[in-house]
Structure 1
Amino acid sequence: MPDRQSTALHLVAGGFGGTAGAILTCPLEVVKTRLQSSSLALRPLCFPAVQMQGLSGTWIRPALPTVGALELLRTILEKEGIRSLFRGLGPNLIGVAPSRAIYFAVYSGAKEKLNTVLVPESKKVHMLSAACAGITSSTLMNPIWLVKTRIQLEARAKDERRTSGFQCAVRIYHTEGLRGFYRGISASYAGVSETIIHFVIYEALKQRIREHRPFLTPALVFSPNSQDFFGVMAAAAASKTCASCIAYPHEVIRTRLREEGSRYRSFVQTLQLVVREEGPLALYRGLLTHLTRQIPNTAIVMVTYELIIHLATKM
């Protein structure tokens, strides 16, 4: 297959996979983002934050009460309506297709190049390819993800008018300038570690599946009735679970950095502030909701991607 045609195929496959996953898991993403926030999601459910003087004379803030995903979900439905569970879906749909398309195209392109200079299909190839794809995708798509996060964090009553993605982008530009669209980019770069872990484990599991199914023809590998189809889905889910648990704190830090009028300024400063004020466990706030959303989302994305690639190469 010519390079240009191959790149276009990976763009299309990645775009379709990302779009399918985004639509089906949007409500869980809204809940997760609210849980990660420092105050917007918790304000309606908690008493106002107070400060107390410690033994050393310094002022400390007690940890915020823990709010469960179901409790937050019920509050959003009661106070804001079911439409709020799909806040940010517009920017998500605008961004997820090109984001996934860019990601998979860069990943496949980098892997193809690196296979010619390093040991083919080695862990080093997978790690470097995933790093290139993650950094490229994060850099190009951060403005859209920032707008999405701001919209998801905006708590409005059922009868209040919602801010559109365009209005949010204009406000960011007027109040923070072009640099404002790249708030949280440092946390996104740190999150590349999650991408690397995910793809290294995924490629290893996928290779193991192929080794244990030598009697299957390539045409059967992604057949809906084939065990390998579900094997690839399980490999994607397992690899993403491991990666998410290890690298999750960057998600919380990124959400804090993207908050409007935030006192969080840098990756390290935010990390220290969250741990000091709320404790280390605050870095894992919303993890269960994240996994509940991310595991099926990743499985849908990867299987859709692999299936489209497989069908296209057989045409």
Structure 2
Amino acid sequence: MNDNHGLSPSAVETIAGFTAGVSSTLAVHPLDVIKTRLQVDRFSSSRIGSSLRIARTIAQNEGGLLAGFYRGLTPNLVGNSVSWGLYFLWYRNIKDALHDMRGSRLGSLDYFVASGSAGIITALLTNPIWVIKTRMLSTGSHVPGAYPSLAAGVRAIYRSEGLAGFYRGMVPALFGVSHGALQFMAYEQLKRYRATTTFIPQLDPDINREGLSTTSTALSLQKNQPLNNIDYLLLSSLSKIFAGCATYPYQVLRARLQTYDAAGTYSGVTDAIAQIWRREGLSGFYKGLGPNLLRVLPSTWVTFLVYENVRIYLGRR
């Protein structure tokens, strides 16, 4: 038993991560739909305005704003909430284990190992959900063979592709673990730096040449200050941009390998890389980057604000 009404630290992390995943998914799902459509597009070139073109097509041809832009919400909601819950659970446990082994404060490499290990475990457990999510988001509900629901997708994949079908895109997904590892390494270090380098203004009495008492403003270094929501917004943004710029191409590869016709288009990861490079050039690996940036920052803000505040609230309880 502990101070959190019987909740262990691992349970607190899981609940906070689950809640953050649900909140962020509901907030930015339409941008996820647009990003996925751009990622799986093998025929048009990447150019400014593509996102608006796809948005208009969805609004006009796929049943209106709600039906079109929230297609595939169930697997996305399940995938994100479960993924964040599992991720923070494993991340906390691995960090604790590393801390016990070292007996000292963790460094950048420790955070990288903890977040990378948590990401690998989470990716292996949740990849089947992401296959269905990618396929549903990449097509409208009116397209022949499109999955009408998460359950229908599970049945269709198992019947036509077997268990292997649920693990399409697994290799680039595992490579994408480096994204989370880099992000959390940067986030933890930025949090530590921010908490130990908080400057606040102070008014110090002074005596001028005439002997009159005055005040002058000085900066005082305050260590171990609690972070606020503005800090979480800024630090999560910086860490996300850093990780996103370094690892975005894996998302395109994963999306291409998880589409309905992937088996007949690419023989594997290497073939996918070769085809994208040959037909689309370097820009092909960055398709959907615009809406992805628009999506990931609000998603990151919601995720980390909800996670940190729920974690703090449950800790106080």
Normalising by structure 2, we get a TM-score of 0.84
Larger displacement relative to structure 2 (111-120 or 9-18): 111-120
The equivalent residue for 2:35 is 32
Aligned residue type for 1:169: V
The equivalent residue for 2:217 is none
Q: 1:70 aligns with which of 52, 59, 70?
A: 52
2:281 maps to 1:297: no
Confirm or deny: 8 A CA contact 1:257 1:265 kept in the other structure: no
Secondary structure of the residue aligned to 2:121 is helix
1:154 CA drift (Å)? 1.8
Instruction: Render the CA deviation track for 1:259-290: whole Å, top value 9, x for unaligned.
Output: 11211232222111111111111000001111
The equivalent residue for 2:244 is 244
The equivalent residue for 1:142 is 127
The equivalent residue for 1:225 is none
CA distance in 2: counterparts of 1:235 and 1:76, whole angstroms: 34
Residues 1:161 and 1:251: Cα distance change in structure 2 (over 3 Å): closer
1:120 CA drift (Å)? 2.2
Q: 1:17 aligns with which of 8, 20, 37?
A: 20
Confirm or deny: 8 A CA contact 2:233 2:305 kept in the other structure: yes
The equivalent residue for 2:289 is 287
Larger displacement relative to structure 2 (178-187 or 165-174): 165-174
The equivalent residue for 2:208 is none
The equivalent residue for 2:232 is 232
Unaligned runs of 5+ in 1: 47-62, 223-227
1:76 CA drift (Å)? 1.1
Residues 1:197 and 1:64: Cα distance change in structure 2 (over 3 Å): closer
Residues 1:310 and 1:69: Cα distance change in structure 2 (over 3 Å): same
Percent identity of equivalent pairs: 29
CA distance in 2: counterparts of 1:285 and 1:199, whole angstroms: 25
Instruction: Render the CA deviation track for 1:4-52: whole Å, top value 9, x for unaligned.
Output: 711111110000011100000000000000000035xx6xxx6xxxxxx
| Stretches (4+) displaced over 4 A | 1-4, 63-67, 214-218
2:80 maps to 1:96: yes
Confirm or deny: 8 A CA contact 1:25 1:297 kept in the other structure: yes
The equivalent residue for 1:256 is 256
Aligned residue type for 2:52: L
- Select the structure of larger CA radius of gyration: 2
Aligned residue type for 1:302: F
The equivalent residue for 1:56 is none
Instruction: Render the CA deviation track for 1:47-80: whole Å, top value 9, x for unaligned.
Output: xxxxxxxxxxxxxxxx677761111111111111
Unaligned runs of 5+ in 2: 199-220
Identify, as 1 or 2, the structure richer in strand: 2
Confirm or deny: 8 A CA contact 2:34 2:55 kept in the other structure: yes
Aligned length: 286
- What value does the CA root-mean-square deviation take over the aligned residues? 2.3
Aligned residue type for 1:19: V
Confirm or deny: 8 A CA contact 1:88 1:151 kept in the other structure: yes
